[in-house]
Structure 1
Amino acid sequence: MELAKRPRRLRTSEGIRKLARETSLNIDDFIYPMFVVEGSGIEKEIPSMPGIMHYSVDRLLRELENVQKAGIPGVILFGIPDEKDETGTGAFLSDGIVQKALREAKKRYPELLFSADLCLCEYTSHGHCGIIKDEKIDNDLTLDILARAAVSLAEAGADIIAPSDMMDGRVGVIRKALDSQAFTDRAIMAYSVKYASSFYGPFRDAAGSTPAFGDRKTYQMDYHGRKEAMREIELDIAEGADIIMVKPALAYLDILHQAATRFDYPLAAYNVSGEYCMIKAAAQKGWIDERGAALEALTAIKRAGAQIIISYFAKDAALWLK
């Protein structure tokens, strides 16, 4: 049979498949999430997140050497304080857990890029991302705390402030606060599109941030829609965001692709804890190949349009991609 077109010609070997490949993962695409806790000598695996650890500052510094050697350009830090209160005071203390980690890490590893997650959920006794007033999350009261925390994180050495709280107007307030304190060079990576997702469960276990009551559906987005996501991105860009983000990633590739097509801005995607743990758990059962599944999922995120991938697989990917 004579065929004019034979697409299989470009699949006949690994070499030719690489030549024809449209999307390629690179270790420069990744940011590695890390959890830092109070104390010393702590390097303890999180039960619901195989391979991911709680680190005290001293052990975090040691692990950052491995991150740097792996070629990963940066990390995003999440802090778990020993003490919490109703207003999340620990988020903006100069000796807060992330602030302490940043000061030490920046001295030791000046070439690594340090992002600091900015949210109150790890610091509030009730586990919500904002200040509670009259049994509701008060958006505007929360903004002042977020602004103070952003400045505190910048003073400690954060290169990127990453607000994940989903309060209205927070990007503008944070940008104004940073600029007023001469931190005009600090970028904001806004969690612009953050859905109220079931895929956050392992993270909440790791961060001790499960809400004590109710849920987060009054501030995180309803997963049934797309148009609202575009409006949220437009607002964050208008308020001064430097990088926009979609979270989660795999269940929202359509949102990611639409954002990449519509907005000419650096675009991040968070490959969240539940997405990571599904692959890990299935691999531990012997049901799937971990490396193959993880690289396929990460490639899908980049193919959809992400330029930056925040993933717990970053260290593994650094080895696999060599």
Structure 2
Amino acid sequence: MSFPVVRHRRLRRNASLRNLVRETYVTVNDFIYPIFVAEGINKKEEIPSMPGVYHFSLDRLEEEVREVVDAGLQAVLLFGVPAEKDAIGTSAYDHNGIVQQAARKVKEWAPQLVVIADTCLCQFTDHGHCGVVEHDRRTGNAEIVNDASLELLVKTAVSQAEAGADIIAPSNMMDGFVHAIREGLDAAGFEHIPIMSYSVKYASAFYGPFRDAVHSTPQFGDRKSYQMDPANLREALREAESDVQEGADMLMVKPALAYMDVIRMLKENYDLPVAAYNVSAEYSMVKAAAQNGWINEKAIVLELLTSMKRAGADLIITYHAKDAAGWLK
């Protein structure tokens, strides 16, 4: 049958009908809110390239945690901004590192809040790379070495779990990182702690404001030797398959907006929860356009978040989380 018997507009006539047949719903339970914790005292400093997002020192962090809880959000993702960095990211796995201290504080103030710890070295190394760097004496070339990096990432993950992190989220893109961290957590008695793997993380231009936030721009070269080529789709399946076999509990695609096809592909091929990271530049572009009066921020944000959910994301990491939670009430 076709027109005039079939009329698709019948189910769009009013809001109530549209609500009855809506296929995709976004709720506050879908969101994970990233927080940047910095060393220092009495610090709440707006990140210039991310309007509305701040660095918080530990003594100011509670006010942000209270806002998150009041908004009805279920989870936060902690990133640390240390005062000092070195070649091997020592403060990443320090018992009193900034992320470890923040995790303990958040669990003290809001025990019900799920604390996710980003597990990487880039914020903590003086060279800005996500692993250990070795220099070839003959050529002078630098290489981010894989297996030596895994040892430090395991130490970081275990220290974060010891501090109270509910989920470990390794974002380093070293080969075998899920296997190594799973073994390390289990050996330390944290077999109950899940791993949310940054399974498909592209070497993207959309990370610029984030690198501004954590001062992690590489001091030489780039991250293309370990993060994925944005042109590749089938490779994402290989990356995700490795993480599934190594024991990941959740799979992530980062960034989100330019990689909706990848989100859908992982959703269709695996039965693990899929997370989408609505990254810094995706956020900042919307904020800049809204501040200029070019767009309706609320409508745009909710449409974008709905598109991620429709593509297959079960969880959405987004800097819009607090605002979106309010708009959805």
TM-score, with structure 1 as normaliser: 0.99
Distance in 1 between residues matched to 2:125 and 2:275, nearest whole Å: 27
SS of the equivalent of 1:47 reads coil
Distance in 1 between residues matched to 2:203 and 2:307, nearest whole Å: 22
Distance in 1 between residues matched to 2:259 and 2:225, nearest whole Å: 20
Distance in 2 between residues matched to 1:282 and 1:31, nearest whole Å: 23
One-letter amino acid of the structure 1 residue matched with residue 38 of structure 2: V
Cα RMSD (Å): 0.7
Tell whether 2:172 aligns with 1:171: no
One-letter amino acid of the structure 2 residue matched with residue 114 of structure 1: V
Q: Aligned residue for 1:236?
A: 243
Note the C-alpha offset of 1:40.
2.0
1:139-150 correspondence runs (5 A): 139-150=146-157
Q: Aligned residue for 2:129?
A: 128
Tell whether 2:144 aligns with 1:137: yes
Note the C-alpha offset of 1:63.
1.0
Q: Aligned residue for 2:105?
A: 104
Tell whether 2:297 aligns with 1:290: yes
Deviations 1:58-91 (A, max 9, x none): 2112210110111100000000000000000010
Q: Aligned residue for 1:271?
A: 278
Distance in 2 between residues matched to 1:215 and 1:241, nearest whole Å: 27
Q: Aligned residue for 1:191?
A: 198
1:237-252 correspondence runs (5 A): 237-252=244-259
Q: Which runs of 4+ in 1 moved over 6 A?
A: none
Distance in 2 between residues matched to 1:292 and 1:110, nearest whole Å: 33
Deviations 1:250-296 (A, max 9, x none): 10000000110111111100000010111111111111111111111
Distance in 2 between residues matched to 1:295 and 1:104, nearest whole Å: 31
TM-score, with structure 2 as normaliser: 0.97
One-letter amino acid of the structure 2 residue matched with residue 219 of structure 1: Y
Distance in 2 between residues matched to 1:167 and 1:226, nearest whole Å: 19
SS of the equivalent of 1:149 reads helix
How many pairs were matched up?
Answer: 321
Tell whether 2:71 aligns with 1:73: no
Q: Aligned residue for 1:82?
A: 83
Q: Percent identical across equivalent pairs?
A: 57
Deviations 1:211-261 (A, max 9, x none): 001100000000101110001000001111001000000100000001101
Tell whether 2:314 aligns with 1:307: yes
One-letter amino acid of the structure 2 residue matched with residue 151 of structure 1: V
Tell whether 2:44 aligns with 1:43: yes
SS of the equivalent of 2:173 reads coil
Q: Aligned residue for 1:316?
A: 323
One-letter amino acid of the structure 2 residue matched with residue 29 of structure 1: D
Note the C-alpha offset of 1:125.
0.2
One-letter amino acid of the structure 2 residue matched with residue 112 of structure 1: L
SS of the equivalent of 1:187 reads coil
